[in-house]
Amino acid sequence: MTSPPTASAPGSALAAAQAALAAEYAALYGYGVVGARVGAGRRSDARAAYDAHRAQRDALTRTIHGLHADPVAAAPAYALPFPVPDQAAAVRLAAYLEDRIAGTYADLVRTARGDLRRDAAAALRDAALRAVRWRGSGTAFPGLIERAP
Amino acid sequence: MAPGTTPWARSGPCRRAVLAGGLTLPLAACAGPLTAQNEGENDPGLALSARAAQDSSALLARYDATAAAHPQLVAQLSPLRAQVFQHIKAFTVPGAPSPSVFVSASAPAVARQVPADQGQALAALAATEQRLADARTAALQEAPPGLACLLASVAAAGACHVLLLQDSA
């Protein structure tokens, strides 16, 4: 008889999935700020991104349940990485959030197999695409911070 | 080849930073050095990586042929081409034959495939990027962990290239 894992071992697919889920919660918080500051012209983009991250949060929650673990909860509060007083900063924050999300999914690709790896690769791609839409340009290695220029 | 010299092994963990400034995430850095995990997996990883380098070299040749046929696109294509060049370097296995040999051998054939219409040339380049991104997404399922991570990242970059090429077509 095996007991269900109560903690996710570092480097495991479960740990990476939990990290991705925590990042999705942080992104949902962050997009709340983005939506409030980004201006009418890009508010629908912020809404679409928010919805996408909510769907990812739900998918990861199901995945982690499927791995017989308790999904991490949202933090009670988040500090922004930089002040977001205006539209330009809101766009920077959105791109920043997507970069970070891409990083967590890159970890999940690395640690997972099968369907979870495939889904993580798709989520990495989607985050990279959203970052490009916010920023207007892309990077050579989305999600791989150590390869960033 | 000794463990630790594969191109993806040099990168270390996929991601080693956490959100700065308080949007703090649990640090789920990739497990240990890739070399340890890659033991026994080197052969399929090397073949996949060599193939990926060759694919990126063929893509680079497409960019060059498109820019040669449509010089007015050079400024627009240059940032994307530069990223493709970085992909070649990331996939290239030290000691393996240079992918540039492949490029120079096939360049005339590639040049003949560039549409004369500028918009169609961009669309053709986007289609090539899309096919390659799809192929890499499929290939990463069988790849060793570190190479899977790199393939996923480069496939994502390719999808971004498609978006940028389509936006400008």
Q: Which two tokens stand for residue A23?
A: 């990042």
- As a residue count, chain A comes to 149
In a domain, B25, yes or no: no
* pLDDT bucket at B41, cuts 50 / 70 / 90: very low
In a domain, B27, yes or no: no
* pLDDT bucket at B112, cuts 50 / 70 / 90: confident
> What was the pLDDT predicted at B21?
32
Gap from A138 CA to chain B (nearest CA, Å):
7
* pLDDT bucket at B106, cuts 50 / 70 / 90: low
**More reliable by pLDDT, B163 or B98:** B163
* pLDDT bucket at B96, cuts 50 / 70 / 90: low
Gap from B136 CA to chain A (nearest CA, Å):
10
Question: How many helices, marked H, and strands, marked E, lie in chain A?
Answer: 4, 0
For chain B, the domain total comes to: 1
**More reliable by pLDDT, B108 or B91:** B91
In a domain, B73, yes or no: yes
Q: Does residue B169 surpass a pLDDT of 90?
A: no
Tens-digit pLDDT profile for chain A (149 aa)?
A: 344 444 567 679 999 999 999 999 999 999 999 999 999 999 999 999 999 999 999 999 999 999 999 999 999 999 999 999 999 999 999 999 999 999 999 999 999 999 999 999 999 999 999 999 999 999 999 999 877 76
pLDDT (mean) for B141-169:
95
How many CB pairs below 8 A link A and B? 165
Terminus-to-terminus CA distance in chain B, angstroms? 44
Q: Which of A72, A79, A105 is opposite residue B21, by nearest beta carbon?
A: A79
Q: What CA–CA distances, in Å, run from B145 to A13, A14, A112, A127, B12?
A: 11, 15, 8, 20, 11
Distance of CA B24 to the CA centre of its chain: 30
Q: Whole-prediction pTM value?
A: 0.84
Does residue A87 contact residue A39 with C-beta atoms inside 8 Å? yes
In a domain, B19, yes or no: no
Q: Which residues of A touch B20 (CB under 8 A)?
A: 81
Does residue A35 contact residue A51 with C-beta atoms inside 8 Å? no
In a domain, B46, yes or no: yes
Q: What is the C-alpha to C-alpha distance for residues B29 and A12, in angstroms, rounded to an integer? A: 10
Residues 6 or more apart whose CB falls under 8 angstroms from that of A67 comprise: A5, A13, A14, A17
Does residue B91 contact residue B52 with C-beta atoms inside 8 Å? yes
Q: What CA–CA distances, in Å, run from B150 to A31, A121, A146, B77, B103?
A: 28, 10, 12, 23, 22
- A123-126 contacts: CB < 8 A, separation 24 or more? A123/A20, A123/A56, A124/B152, A124/B153, A124/B156, A125/B133, A125/B137, A125/B152, A125/B155, A125/B156, A125/B159, A126/A52
Q: Does residue B107 surpass a pLDDT of 80?
A: no
Identify the domain containing residue B150 by its residue range.
37-168
Does the beta-carbon distance from B15 to A133 stay under 8 Å?
A: no
All domains in chain A, ordered by first residue? 13-73+83-141 (1.20.1260.10)
